[in-house]
Structure 1
């Protein structure tokens, strides 16, 4: 499903930040804290994969299987502005301008607008796009080193206003850090579905005019406005 990309995109873009030189032995958790604390702008490439474990009739020795993959470009400006531009295998954009969230589907010639606050409420972006400290909302737990990255688990702290203790749809959120740069985001939901997003060719602290995040649907496009 195409619109599944938006959840991972929202979770991903908040981790990008300035080029901070860190000691080689710096923990992944401390690297991530510095990224969130100092983040401004970033632009680069992404690859997003939806993974699942092999079924009973499939070879079990190859680990998780890629069942869907997309790739494209991202642009980010803290707080609350980003573009998640999927280019392959189809063209679709997710745009946040600080006030609203816009999903543009070129094949459908359709743009969907909704308030950013509501749209982001169930994702890590609702917290991490803001001005507050990451540690106010998550426990940062250093994990194992794998795939050449230092992994950090983000464990949501209990939200007393949420029915189930927290309002995030994930059972596990992890970020892979390499030499002070976020290289991967891993999201796992309650059904065991895994989304892995990897980043490449990141440009940091670039100048981004506010108009970069403005989107006007082309003439003839279907426009949906959700409250």
Structure 2
């Protein structure tokens, strides 16, 4: 799994918490604020597509090309815990247990572990899984209404003292809100690659067992620990 796709998943993780659904008459930004403020846990299904712009030798009038599509199930719990379980066309699982981030690849029989703080620090997940206000770190810019959703752009606020003005691996994050729920995301990097995610069957504030985010690699699996 590429760094961009992992970062995209972490960014997606940021908004999957909600309380009571809001009226669609609310602005997209207000729906997102309420969603983050009232959320505790959530789970549901996802379909994720990675797209790219056509190359010079390809037709230019057919828009972005789908180069990868996956689907699976997600579970989240504030703060800092989630499972992004890819089930098709291959089995791969990304687990954050609050202390570390684990990438499990069934085909490789390999688990890669890294500290959660380092892995999440440069993504919106660090803010939205935590206790701080969303708007302490991002400006919410109201976008267009399309496909039955009200879109909101998340613009990272700049720290004048920071050496790197933007640590995020993507240049644009847009969230499609409908009836108080995030229904779609668009993540764009500086090279024009786009990750689109559709969310479905979202269950809010579900009761989760204490060991829901515990993952132990199978016996005999290769375990890589990254600092």
TM-score (norm 2): 0.95
What is aligned with 1:215?
215
In the aligned structure 1, how far is the partner of 2:108 from the partner of 2:19? 38
Does structure 2 conserve the Cα–Cα contact (< 8 Å) formed by 1:142 and 1:153? Answer: yes
In the aligned structure 1, how far is the partner of 2:4 from the partner of 2:89? 14
In the aligned structure 2, how far is the partner of 1:94 from the partner of 1:45? 15
Question: Where do residues 143-182 of structure 1 align in structure 2 (5 Å cutoff)?
Answer: 143-182=143-182
- After superposition, what is the alpha-carbon deviation per residue over 1:129-159, rounded to whole angstroms, capped at 9, x for unaligned? 1101001000000001122211000000002
- After superposition, what is the alpha-carbon deviation per residue over 1:34-92, rounded to whole angstroms, capped at 9, x for unaligned? 11111111111111111112233333333211111111000000110000000111100
Question: How much does 1:121 deviate?
Answer: 1.4
Indicate the SS of the match to 2:211. helix
What is aligned with 2:140?
140
What is aligned with 1:124?
124
Question: How much does 1:8 deviate?
Answer: 1.4
Question: How much does 1:161 deviate?
Answer: 4.5
In the aligned structure 1, how far is the partner of 2:126 from the partner of 2:216? 24
What is aligned with 2:81?
81
Consecutive unaligned residues of structure 1, counting only runs of 5 or more, are none
Consecutive unaligned residues of structure 2, counting only runs of 5 or more, are none
- After superposition, what is the alpha-carbon deviation per residue over 1:172-201, rounded to whole angstroms, capped at 9, x for unaligned? 111001111101111111111111111011
**1:6 to 2:6 alignment:** yes
TM-score (norm 1): 0.95
Of the structure 1 ranges 123-132 and 55-64, higher mean CA displacement relative to structure 2 is found in 55-64
**1:70 to 2:70 alignment:** yes
Question: How much does 1:167 deviate?
Answer: 1.9
Of the structure 1 ranges 1-10 and 188-197, higher mean CA displacement relative to structure 2 is found in 1-10
What is aligned with 1:15?
15
In the aligned structure 2, how far is the partner of 1:65 from the partner of 1:58? 10
In the aligned structure 1, how far is the partner of 2:220 from the partner of 2:36? 40
Question: How much does 1:124 deviate?
Answer: 1.2
**Residue correspondences, number:** 227
What is aligned with 1:26?
26
Of the structure 1 ranges 191-200 and 3-12, higher mean CA displacement relative to structure 2 is found in 3-12
CA RMSD, Structure 1 to Structure 2 (Å): 1.4
In the aligned structure 2, how far is the partner of 1:24 from the partner of 1:219? 49
Does structure 2 conserve the Cα–Cα contact (< 8 Å) formed by 1:159 and 1:167? Answer: no
